[in-house]
Structure 1
Amino acid sequence: MTTTTDSPRWFKSSYSNNGGNCIEVAANIPGAVPVRDSKNPHGPALVFPADEWSSFVSAVRAGEFGNL
């Protein structure tokens, strides 16, 4: 079975404290990572190439964006 962007499985980070300022990510789309605002689940999603998303997450973990 091929998974498409028509059937993403969305999740929030386990670090989310339900403060309302969260994003949701779908990691089940081959080669792409859709990201959306958790407050607007029926709104648009930004879709990033998986390798670029991985680089972004690595940079956040390394503190390259300061104290977020």
Structure 2
Amino acid sequence: MNIQLLLVHLRKKIRANKKKVTDAIITTHSAEICIVCGSREQLTKEHVIPQWVYNRSTKRTFETTTNGI
């Protein structure tokens, strides 16, 4: 699967969970919830993007022009 299709899937997942995440933050005044999947369990720094994506290089980043960003 190419990267564009994966990013489309990621954006759809974020949109699907936005109300759940927003409501949780408003209710608890805390952001202890994943903004992608809405999970409150097993949240780590690698919850969404695993470290192997960056080959252990914290200086590497993603660059995208999708949505004019």
TM class by smaller structure: under 0.3
Higher-Rg structure is: 2
- Bigger proportion of residues as strand: 1
TM normalised by structure 2 equals 0.25
